[in-house]
Amino acid sequence: MSSPTSSSSRFDAYPLTFEPQLEERVWGGRGLGSFGKTLPPSIPIGESWEISDVEGKPSKVSRGTYKGRSLQELLAIDLHAVLGGCAGNESKTRPRFPLLLKLIEARDDLSVQVHPSDADLRRQGRSGSGKTEAWVILATEPGARVVYGLAPGVDRAELFKRMEALAGGKLPRRDEESLFHWVEVAPGDVIFVPAGTIHASGKGILLAEVQQTSDITYRIYDWGRPGINGKPRALHLKEAQDVSDPGPVACPSASLARARRDSLASKGFVSVLTCDKFQIDMLASESDSRAEVRESTRQERTEGFHVLSSVEGKARCRAPSGDELEISPGEFVLLPAALGEYSIEPSTVPMKILRFRGPE
């Protein structure tokens, strides 16, 4: 496939692709088929886990030297070749790839939920990562909206008192959606969801999600509907009340339209969103600007992994060894930290490529 470029000769650093893991969800649909996912018949699919190192759900490589090997196995071969500086102190515990990347289709409203932060877990004496995330809105139906925090005049104490009374059958269901702050969204909106934010994707939305490697979700409200098994899904009100409020954050937080203009002007990747858990960049190209862009997983005296994904058009990614692959919408490619220089060239235009990186 390619000659090793890692500091360790044991690791073959080349662009890695993985088999998607499709997740049945009561609120899912069939929309992920538009991104080339082969959906099982008659099953509502809500999520496609594209790159995962969650316990029990590791991604498996789909091509090249490591085909069939799990992401966890790659970290065991050479942690720093994959993660670079993002490895940090991971070697002190069971090492994990720090980001989980998904495609999500909300055919119906998701449950209103909240996720703990790293600090919340430490305060509770628990291990693992919290769950800060961000959404890139890819497609919407007219009027699509998301829950982002609480409605004006509603505080958390009031919300949880109401939810507990509902769960205990002490109150009839009425206009619960008025308790939440709803924000209309459109394709290209980028929504930052720091841990502790009460949130939910509404129906009619298809999005790409990047988050910390965690599957901890505290469900607050589920619209009174049954789950896949016909029974109500469990709520986690006690756990949710113990999560810290991160404070106000703008929603949407960023825009791909603005990033597109900046990228076309600079002819390179530009920052879309940066937080202490991950970074999102974007590269855009139009019909009159199809030049090759050269990048490296070694930037400004740092070395770290890059994940590339197309949200519009197709692009060719070339590795130092000459290994080349085309990235289509809905596909994710992991470039290990040890890869070094690579190039991106549009094969169709217009083109928008997202790049996800770990914390600086």
Mean pLDDT by 10 residues, the chain (360 residues): 47 97 98 96 97 96 98 96 79 80 98 98 92 98 98 96 91 90 98 98 98 97 94 95 95 97 96 97 86 90 92 96 94 97 96 93
Residue 6: the pLDDT is 40
Residue 86: the pLDDT is 84
- Indicate whether 231 and 264 sit together in one domain: no
Residue 104: the pLDDT is 98
Residue 337: the pLDDT is 96
CB 333 within 8 A of CB 308: yes
Collapse the DSSP code of 83 into the 3-class scheme (helix H, G, I; strand E, B; otherwise coil) and give the result.
helix
Please report whether residue 94 resides in a domain: no
> Which element (helix H / strand E) includes 46?
strand 45-51
Domain boundary among 246, 270, 298: 246
- Indicate whether 240 and 294 sit together in one domain: no
Please report whether residue 343 resides in a domain: yes
Collapse the DSSP code of 345 into the 3-class scheme (helix H, G, I; strand E, B; otherwise coil) and give the result.
strand
Residue 88: the pLDDT is 64
- Indicate whether 217 and 263 sit together in one domain: no
CB 25 within 8 A of CB 48: no
List the structure tokens of 106: 């909300």
Backbone angles phi, psi at 71, to 5 degrees: -60, -35
As for how many domains the chain has, the answer is 2
Residue 314: the pLDDT is 96
- Indicate whether 313 and 296 sit together in one domain: yes
206, 211, 216, 217 alpha-carbon torsion, rounded to 10°: -40
CA nearest to 180, candidates 148, 140, 226, 216: 148
**Interatomic CA distance for residues 129 and 261, integer angstroms:** 35
Residue 289: the pLDDT is 67
Strand partners, 102: 49, 209
- Indicate whether 273 and 336 sit together in one domain: yes
- Indicate whether 209 and 267 sit together in one domain: no
**Interatomic CA distance for residues 321 and 325, integer angstroms:** 12
CA distances from 111 to 118, 147, 201, 276 (A): 22, 10, 8, 26
List the structure tokens of 262: 């900046």
- Indicate whether 198 and 273 sit together in one domain: no
Residue-number span of the structural domain to which 201 is assigned: 21-58+99-246
Residue 116: the pLDDT is 98
219 has catalytic annotation: yes
Q: Which of 25, 96, 219, 357 is catalytic?
A: 219
List the structure tokens of 119: 């600090």
**Interatomic CA distance for residues 51 and 65, integer angstroms:** 18
Residue 293: the pLDDT is 96
List the structure tokens of 110: 């998701």
**Interatomic CA distance for residues 50 and 67, integer angstroms:** 15
Residue 1: the pLDDT is 44
- Indicate whether 40 and 122 sit together in one domain: yes
Domain boundary among 191, 223, 246: 246
> What does pTM read for this prediction?
0.95
